[in-house]
Amino acid sequence: MIQFSSVYKSYSRDEYALENLSVKIPKGDFFFITGHSGAGKTTFLKLITREERPTKGAIIVGGRNISIVPERQIYELRRNIGIIFQDFRLLEDRTVFDNVALALKIRGVSPRQIRKEVTEVLRWVGLPQKIGSLTRRLSGGEQQRVAIARAIVTNPSILLADEPTGNLDQEISLEIMEMFRRLNSRGTTILVASHNQMLLERYARNVLYLKKGTSISLRRVAQ
């Protein structure tokens, strides 16, 4: 479970990116955070990974208050979280294999096992034939699939996606969301920051609506 309790995040003395935010996200949920640009969606995700720390309040992830986790333990926290960035953040001068394999190499996984895991995850996202291609030569939809493969190759329990379909057409966007739905059906907790109303209406069960860092509503759909 992920829980925010009276969380404030300020980047300046007089302005809050998030203000007095409290919300619970059950394990295995498919959760959307939405709101206009600047509402605090990206900050919300960064707080979960401890890329940012709250100014006030507590954030519980997997039973731990990550607001007070020592810096030396942040890596352990992030081992269980996959992240898909809005701008992909791929290594454009490296191959698809290199991009997806990176997290496994950092963990010390054997080359043989890395080849197996990368091959399997690329098959899952529909890109087995691109394993040796440079990422800069891929289409936007293909790059997003590589970003998804990189995020899930370590089997994280939580997947965070920041505007994952922002630069994609509707057909590709729906394909990406179907991947998330399949992951969620396997037990992965999915958090998607998006302002795409079509996706919200089609996929979102639980939606947190933010306005200038403050929760204006939380919609929950009975399962």
Q: What is the CATH number of the domain that holds 188?
A: 3.40.50.300
pLDDT at 223 over 70: no
| Residue 136 pLDDT grade (very low, low, confident, very high; cuts 50, 70, 90) | very high
| pLDDT given for residue 167 in this prediction | 81
Are 62 and 105 within one domain? no
pLDDT at 219 over 80: no
Using alpha carbons only, give the angle 74, 109, 99 rounded to the nearest 5 degrees: 75
Q: Tell me the C-alpha distance between 179 and 125, whole Å.
A: 8
Residues of the domain holding 143: 87-154
What residues are paired with 83 via a beta bridge? Answer: 160
Are 141 and 188 within one domain? no
Domain count, the chain: 2
Q: What is the dihedral angle through the alpha carbons of 103, 105, 111, 113, rounded to the nearest 10 degrees?
A: -40
Are 150 and 161 within one domain? no
Are 143 and 160 within one domain? no
| pLDDT given for residue 220 in this prediction | 65
| Residue 82 pLDDT grade (very low, low, confident, very high; cuts 50, 70, 90) | very high
SS percent in the chain: helix, strand, coil, step 5: 40, 30, 35
pLDDT at 86 over 90: no
| Lowest-pLDDT choice from 44-53, 98-107, 167-176 | 167-176
Q: What is the mean pLDDT of residues 179-207?
A: 91
In this predicted model, which residue has the larger pLDDT, 13 or 142?
A: 142
Please give the order of strands across the beta sheet that includes 64-65: 15-25, 2-12, 56-61, 64-65
CB atoms within 10 A of CB 155: 11
Q: Tell me the C-alpha distance between 177 and 184, whole Å.
A: 10
For 16, the enclosing helix (H) or strand (E) is strand 15-25
The last residue of one of the domains, among 133, 154, 175, is: 154
| pLDDT given for residue 215 in this prediction | 75
Are 164 and 150 within one domain? no
Q: What is the mean pLDDT of residues 166-189?
A: 93
pLDDT at 222 over 90: no
- Beta carbons of 141 and 127 less than 8 angstroms apart: no
Are 41 and 130 within one domain? no
Are 104 and 160 within one domain? no
Using alpha carbons only, give the angle 5, 161, 104 rounded to the nearest 5 degrees: 105
| Residue 87 pLDDT grade (very low, low, confident, very high; cuts 50, 70, 90) | confident
Are 68 and 168 within one domain? yes
In this predicted model, which residue has the larger pLDDT, 156 or 204?
A: 156
Are 57 and 95 within one domain? no
Are 131 and 165 within one domain? no
| pLDDT given for residue 15 in this prediction | 85
The mean pLDDT value of the chain amounts to 92
Angle between helices 170-185 and 140-152 (to 10 degrees): 10
Q: What is the mean pLDDT of residues 87-105?
A: 95
The last residue of one of the domains, among 95, 123, 154, is: 154
The last residue of one of the domains, among 118, 133, 154, is: 154
Q: What is the mean pLDDT of residues 119-145?
A: 96
pTM of the complete model: 0.92
pLDDT at 33 over 60: yes
Are 70 and 160 within one domain? yes
Encoded tokens for 35 = 């709101």
| pLDDT given for residue 14 in this prediction | 77
Q: Tell me the C-alpha distance between 126 and 142, whole Å.
A: 9
Q: Tell me the C-alpha distance between 124 and 186, whole Å.
A: 13
Beta strands in 138-177 (DSSP E): 158-162
Are 179 and 213 within one domain? yes
